[in-house]
Chain A
Amino acid sequence: MLQFDFMRYAFISGIFISLICGLMGTFVVARQTSFFTHTLSEIGFSGATFGIFIGTSPLLGMIIFTLASAIFIGFSGERLSRREASISVFSGVFIGLGILFLSLSNKQANYATNILFGSIVGINLNNLYSLICLSIFILIVITVFFRQLAYNSFDAIGSQYNQRFNTLISIIFLALLALTISITAQIIGSLLIFVLLTIPASAAKYFVHSLKKMILLTTVFSLFGIWFGLYLAYITDWPVSFFITIIEATIYASSMLFQRVTTLR
């Protein structure tokens, strides 16, 4: 299977995606902003179609759209993004825009399915390079601001009073989330990004309780899901995002079971 270039690229990108999902997923789950992650992925979809429409790459379109919305949400306060009504409004408008751009751009429907649902043949060498560069950039920013991001994510109220530049840190986090969504979408599709950003970390928190171990275990869960999913997709020719979702859901179910058993004891 690894004699094919596209499989090698997919496996390599899996490493970077899971590293980033390990870090960002842990923060996303700590902040309890899964809904916002959901909305951002829909924004990512419309960004990707916008990219196709104006003739640049879908990735660039995604980055522009998700970054702009992340910064907008950051300045108007994260509370806005938690309101049920504004979530529906955001999702609706951006899916609508996505449909519009797609129909205006006259591209075949399989373009849309690639963006929405991901694909193992979706990554070529150029995609891989931009994915790696972006991943390294995200990792550097997280490393530099790690403490501030952790404080901001795990103790929103405490950091609000006791951390300098806390609003700026929130905005940096949202911008990182936007970039994460843009690169993760390439393999799992924009519709199911939240699977990798929320499920592994939600499962990990039932098994371990230190920050370091949570990040590590989340990374392992993501990597296992992506690699095993890629393998199963290769041998069955079924969609990779289906397998990743099922694997992560199974991990989550076993974490619930684990928690039940440990509390019973």
Chain B
Amino acid sequence: MNSIIEVHNLNLSVQGKQLFKNLTFKVPANKLTCLTGENGVGKTTLIKYLLGTFSHPDKETKLNVSSQKTQYVPQLRNLDAEFPLNICDFVGLGLKKSFLPWHTPKERILLEHVLNETSLTAIKDRPLGAASGGEKQRAFLAQALCAEPKLLILDESTASLDKNSKYSLMNLIERLVQTKEITVLFITHDPELIARYADYELKLAKQNGQLLRKDRGSHVTI
């Protein structure tokens, strides 16, 4: 099993409170792993710590991916209803390879492809502030995809969505894992989604973590 994240005997405390003690786990590559645990167990803190090791490496953590190929989609973004930028340009903010102020032809093709993949093409000229919760989450995901990531970390992306939007987003993410060799680390509380989509579950509890293999036998993938 290839792994994209390897953590060995990590101790992590925040403001004097010990969150993890001798935490050891691996995240398998090209799979969908759900990161679960009670509120306050330190899921988001752990992710932020892992992202921080790109610039401050340590001996406990090994990331088999570069920082440019890693994209983190945070749970909340402070965009109000009057956020003016349209979906197309918001997604395009994720294009970072060139230094030109305008998009290169290659990037325009990529952007179009990403918008298509995330079913945003029809509404790409609409301001993001006016988009629904599901559309916003798809736009956040699309922005991350513009970096052509190998590791995609999603923080409760489905938390505020209704059933239909939730499943269409998850189907999309599942398709990405299967077709693009992307590893997805998905922070979630939703047992239904874990049962249906997760290849692995990384369960955080009692200052430690455990990687469980999930059986998705009953779920037919498309």
A interface residues, Cβ below 8 angstroms from B = 30, 143-144, 146-147, 150-151, 154-159, 161-164, 205-206, 209-211, 214
Distance in angstroms between the alpha carbons of A18 and B35 in the assembled complex: 49
Contact of A154 among B82, B90, B144 (CB under 8 A): B90
- Interface members, chain B 115-136 (any A CB < 8 Å): 125-127
User: Contacts A147-B101, A211-B85 given: A155-B96 contact, CB under 8 Å?
Assistant: no
B interface residues, Cβ below 8 angstroms from A = 51, 67-68, 71-74, 76-78, 82, 84-86, 88-90, 93-96, 98-99, 101, 125-127, 140, 143-144, 147
Q: Are A162 and B71 in contact (CB under 8 A)?
A: yes
Q: Are B125 and A158 in contact (CB under 8 A)?
A: no
User: Contacts A155-B93, A156-B78, A209-B127 given: A146-B101 contact, CB under 8 Å?
Assistant: yes
Q: Which B residues lie within 8 Å of A159 (CB)?
A: 93
Distance in angstroms between the alpha carbons of A150 and B100 in the assembled complex: 12
Distance in angstroms between the alpha carbons of A30 and B68 in the assembled complex: 25
Residue of A156, A205, A206 contacting most chain B CB atoms (<10 Å): A205
Distance in angstroms between the alpha carbons of A248 and B82 in the assembled complex: 20
Q: Which A residues lie within 8 Å of B147 (CB)?
A: 162
Q: Are A214 and B84 in contact (CB under 8 A)?
A: yes
Q: A145's closest neighbor in chain B, by CB?
A: B99
Q: Are A147 and B95 in contact (CB under 8 A)?
A: yes
Q: Which A residues lie within 8 Å of B72 (CB)?
A: 161-162
Q: Are B84 and A155 in contact (CB under 8 A)?
A: no
Residue of A151, A154, A155, A209 contacting most chain B CB atoms (<10 Å): A209
Q: Which B residues lie within 8 Å of A143 (CB)?
A: 101
Q: Which B residues lie within 8 Å of A205 (CB)?
A: 82, 84
Q: Are B74 and A154 in contact (CB under 8 A)?
A: no
Q: B47's closest neighbor in chain A, by CB?
A: A161
Q: Which B residues lie within 8 Å of A214 (CB)?
A: 84-85
Nearest-CB distance from A23 to chain B (Å)?
10
Q: B80's closest neighbor in chain A, by CB?
A: A32
Nearest-CB distance from A219 to chain B (Å)?
15
Contact of B93 among A144, A154, A206, A209 (CB under 8 A): A154
**5 tightest A-B contacts by CB?**
A205-B84, A146-B101, A209-B86, A161-B72, A151-B93
